[in-house]
Amino acid sequence: MLLLTTNDLLALLIVLASAVCLALFYWLSGTPKKSSIRLPSTSEALESLLQTSAEEGKPVLLNQGMGFSPNPEITGLLGLGLQRVIVNRSLTADRPNMVESGDGLLSLVSQQVSRGLYHNALMPEYFNVNQASLQALGPMANLAGLLTMVPESKPSGLLLYGSFTPEHLLALDQGINMNTSVVGASAPTTQASLWMHADHSAFGEDSFATVSSAKPEKSTLAGLRTADVLRILISIALLAAAILKVMGEF
Amino acid sequence: MRRTLPVAITISTALFVLAALFLQGQVGSYLPYVLDLAILLMAVSALVALAYLVTRQVNKIRQNPAESTPNMVLVLAFSITLVAGLVFGVQNPAYNRWVAAIQRPLQSSLLGLSALVMASAALKLFQRKGIDAFTVSFGLSAVFFLLLGMNTSRLVINPQLDAALLTLSQLPLVGARGLLIGISLGALMVALRIVFGVERPFDER
Q: How far apart are CA B56 and CA B68, in angstroms?
A: 12
For residue A113, list chain B residues with Cβ-Cβ distance below 8 A: 202-204
Question: Which position has the higher pLDDT, B34 or B127?
Answer: B34
pLDDT of residue B76: 93
Contact A18 B190 (CB under 8 A): no
pLDDT for res A168: 87
A residues 98-127 closer than 8 Å to B (CB): 103-105, 107-109, 111-117, 119-120
Task: Kindly determine whether residue B49 and residue A104, on different chains, have CB atoms separated by under 8 Å.
Answer: yes
Q: Give the pLDDT confidence score for residue B95 in this predicted structure.
A: 93
Rounded (10°) CA dihedral B86, B90, B95, B97: 160
pLDDT tens-place string over residues A119-138:
888 888 888 888 888 888 88
Out of B41, B46, B204, name the one closest to residue A113 (CB).
B204
Q: What's the whole-number average pLDDT of chain B?
A: 83
Share of chain B above pLDDT 70, in %: 93
Q: Which of B35, B116, B183 to mutate to test the interface with A (most CBs of A within 10 A)?
A: B183
The beta-carbon neighbor of A208 closest among B24, B179, B186 is B186
pLDDT category, B153, cuts 50, 70, 90? Answer: low
With a CB-CB cutoff of 8 Å, which residues 9-68 of chain A face chain B? Answer: 12, 14-15, 18-19, 22-23, 26, 68
A140: pLDDT strictly greater than 90: no
Residues of B in contact with A227 (CB under 8 A): 185-186, 189
Whether B204 shows a pLDDT value over 60: the answer reads no
Q: What is the ipTM of this complex?
A: 0.77
Shortest distance between the Cα of A22 and any Cα of chain B, in A, equals 8
Look at residue B199 and tell me whether its pLDDT is greater than 90. Answer: no
Name the residue of chain B whose CA is nearest to A8's CA: B22
CB contact under 8 A, A113 and B203: yes
- The pLDDT of residue A96 is 87
CB contact under 8 A, B182 and A206: yes
Q: Three-state SS for A127?
A: coil
Does residue B141 register a pLDDT over 90? no
Strand partners, A202: A184
Q: What is the pLDDT of residue A1?
A: 54
State pLDDT tens for residues B79-123: 999 999 999 998 899 999 999 998 889 888 888 888 888 888 877
Give the integer Cα–Cα distance in Å for A212 and A237: 26
SS3 for chain B, per residue?
Answer: CCCHHHHHHHHHHHHHHHHHHHCHHHHHHHHHHHHHHHHHHHHHHHHHHHHHHHHHHHHHHHHCHHHCHHHHHHHHHHHHHHHHHHHHCCCCHHHHHHHHHHHHHHHHHHHHHHHHHHHHHHHHHHHHHCCCHHHHHHHHHHHHHHHHHCCHHHHCCCHHHHHHHHHHCCHHHHHHHHHHHHHHHHHHHHHHHHHHCCCCCCCCC
pLDDT of residue A250: 65
Cα B178 to chain centroid, rounded: 20
What pLDDT does residue B84 have? 93
Tell me whether residue B85 is exposed, middle or buried, using C-beta atoms within 10 angstroms of its C-beta: 0 to 12, 13 to 18, 19 or more.
middle
> What digits encode the pLDDT tens for the residues A77-92?
788 888 888 888 888 8
- pLDDT tens, position by position, A14-49: 888 888 888 888 887 666 565 566 667 788 888 888
Give pLDDT, residue A214. Answer: 64
Q: What's the pLDDT at B6?
A: 78
Class of CATH domain A40-215: alpha beta
Q: What is the pLDDT of residue A38?
A: 64
